[in-house]
Amino acid sequence: MTKQVNEIKESLREKLDPQTYRIVCECGTEPAFTGKYWDCKTPGVYHCVVCESALFDSSTKYDSGSGWPSYYTPLSETSLKQRIDTAHGMIRTEVVCAQCEAHLGHVFNDGPPPTGLRYCINSAALDLKPS
């Protein structure tokens, strides 16, 4: 790692609680049905907990039954980046914040219309700003 990356990670370690740091910096996950937003119905916009970029609108959130906040589309086409994740013996598509590359969760092709996508996101990676 470069010195700059190490400095950023140390800064985040001081800013974030240990679980949030593990999720956004080390590609962790929170247990299903435990995150603060998995069943949240409050209208607003969900932002990246690291850089505060707007990621998802609550109007695209739905109950997928998975135990994690799920959305069928991001706020904009440029809000997220996707990467192939081969950890844990699976091939999945990881979703990260396009601005700071914080790990958010994964996207799957089993969501509702109109996109057919399910962005399965860790609550710890999000900060809801109510409307």
CA distance readout (Å), 50 to 9, 24, 63, 126: 11, 8, 25, 8
Written as one letter, the residue type at 38 is: W
Q: Which residues contact 104 (CB under 8 A, 6 or more apart)?
A: 24, 48, 55, 80, 95, 96, 97, 119, 121, 122, 125, 126
Whether 34 and 127 have beta carbons less than 8 Å apart is answered as no
Q: Which two tokens stand for residue 40?
A: 């949240």
Identify the active-site residue in 27, 40, 100, 120. Answer: 120
- Angle subtended by helix axes 18-26 and 3-15, to nearest 10: 150
Catalytic, 48? Answer no
Q: List residues with catalytic annotation.
A: 120
